[in-house]
Chains A and B, each alone.
Chain A
């Protein structure tokens, strides 16, 4: 007997890139939730654990919503196999039960973009999925551009899905196998002066590996553009009690560690101490 009660069912898992079961592989899963929330805001995340009732893995993994169907209560997530938690999730078969709780986090503020404001999304790796849900909302009323970076063409995520929303997609790959050869920050840099000249000036939303977010935050600041980052920190509780996922922020000269689970994961890039 255990306090862990599985409350969700894995519907299906697809391997998106890499080799099944091998570190680095990218997966997409659909999970049906019992007591499904009425809505999930872009940038919010769920805690997902595939333990089979045992104590290994002990902690759930924080996974951002890639998409959410409130009618059927189906959550879509995307994750990279990295350690025990994601390996256990990738090994689950359709119909098997999972423990899922959420949604958590502030999510992106959908009321922030003004009328006719262009939206610039910058994503890399498993930072791309939450931007998809954001694009789904914002593309209804705004012009949306996506700059996506990946190691290689095979790791680019959801490109056709973004295009179906009418998003203009620019890609960068480290090995040059598709699009711009180099870092996505450099690719953004080539467009930035033109984008910064737009009125109203665009908002930049970023989610991806830490060095990429740091780079894009610095470029946005230099161009005088508002930049919101969705940070990816290791989490244990998601409720603000463990203080494991804290981010060092600075407001009015005062430095403070704040939990990214409850006060984030979306932050004003200018407040983060990079």
Chain B
């Protein structure tokens, strides 16, 4: 099989390094590349592979009020250009998170966003109140969209009224930047997006994983213990780009954080053009624990090759084709 040739842009020694700094609402980032929640642990796990000050920041794995065991195994399976997971928010609980884990990453000058998940509105609010007091936490992402637990999570993320009610209450519990992480498992992502923004979300992260199934036909069984899981990886990038573009078109003033199958600097540029101010990278960290800093380099190379001075200048520059009505 012929090796796929990568279109590496030629580096011009004269071109100055592009300015990668971006803002997501009030939150300033060194560059637009963040580790995605659930795919970078609590941040500390990756410290042996790179300095987190090279990347935009970390969105920690979702934390619940009390510790959660998580789902039975098998929890993961690879599929074409992607993988399914059904981890089920295995969580150490917020107390241990703050005491045993956050201090390791708080030493570094990099954005640290906590992700919160629980089963009831009150639990989300309590989490937000606790995290609001922590200087090390630069923002809170509300996980409205975990597809792998029975209660909480996705039930909030697929019902606009529930999403709005939850965000409104969490908003009152914290003055930190508040991001809502949206599910792709909805008919129209713009409806939920608008509901979250109207309820007080500062930014929207999209997309979470797509509910999916893998089957062992010989055994006549789904491969995952909980039957279904969330699809991630390059397979979902086109779905994510479509949704980011749709939400940006509907809500052009709202900062978006693009997520879904990013595995190269070119992918980052595509999300920025579609309307994202920053991106989160998840599954790519599994294939290569140094993926995040490599992506920062690749993004810089892409911008330099196209003589784009600032990464932020790319955001929302997509020009949609005018679509003639069907004859």
Contact = CB atoms under 8 A, between A and B. Distances in A.
Contacts of B295: 3
Interface string B231-272: 001110000000000000000000000000001111000000
A58 B283 contact: yes
Contacts of A243: 70, 75, 87, 90
A1 B284 CA distance: 13
A15 to B, nearest CB: 19
Given A58-B82, A83-B78, A246-B75, A2 B264 contact: yes
Given A59-B78, A85-B78, A99-B288, A1 B298 contact: yes
A179 interface: no
SS class, residues of chain A in contact with chain B: loop
B238 to A, nearest CB: 13
Given A1-B265, A49-B287, A60-B287, A55 B233 contact: yes
Interface stretch (B2-10, B24-32, B137-145): B2-10
B40 interface: yes
A107 B1 CA distance: 35
Contacts of B4: 52-54
A101 B83 CA distance: 20
Contacts of B85: 236, 242, 244
Contact of B286 (A83, A242, A257): A242
B77 A2 contact: no
A91 interface: yes
Nearest to B297: A3
Interface in A227-274: 233-234, 236-248, 255-257, 262
Interface residues of A, number: 41
A234 B152 CA distance: 28
Given A3-B294, A243-B75, A237 B285 contact: yes
Nearest to A256: B69
B96 interface: no
A58 B232 CA distance: 11
B73 interface: yes
A241 B41 contact: yes
Contacts of A233: 73
A176 interface: no
Contacts of B69: 255-257
A124 to B, nearest CB: 20
A86 to B, nearest CB: 11
Interface residues of B, number: 53
B39 interface: yes
A91 B78 contact: no
Nearest to B261: A55
B73 A53 contact: no
Given A3-B288, A3-B298, A239 B76 contact: no
Contacts of B264: 1-3
Contacts of A110: none
A1 B288 contact: no
A257 to B, nearest CB: 5
Interface in A37-96: 49, 52-60, 83-85, 91
A237 B41 CA distance: 11
B74 interface: yes
A263 to B, nearest CB: 12
B77 A1 contact: no
B73 A5 contact: no
Contact of A239 (B49, B75, B87): B49
Interface in A1-48: 1-5
Contacts of B199: none
Nearest to A97: B3
B90 A246 contact: yes
A242 B39 contact: yes
A260 to B, nearest CB: 10
Contacts of A84: 78
A244 B301 CA distance: 33
Nearest to B70: A257
Contact of A55 (B40, B75, B263, B289): B263
Interface in B61-79: 61, 69-70, 72-78
Interface of A: 1-5, 49, 52-60, 83-85, 91, 97, 99, 101, 233-234, 236-248, 255-257, 262
29 contacts: A1-B7, A1-B9, A1-B266, A1-B302, A3-B264, A3-B287, A3-B288, A3-B290, A3-B295, A3-B298, A4-B263, A52-B1, A53-B4, A55-B235, A60-B287, A99-B287, A237-B285, A239-B41, A239-B49, A241-B39, A241-B40, A243-B70, A243-B87, A244-B75, A248-B72, A255-B69, A257-B69, A257-B70, A262-B45
A-B pairs, 6 with minimum CB distance:
A244-B76, A241-B41, A237-B286, A236-B286, A55-B234, A55-B81
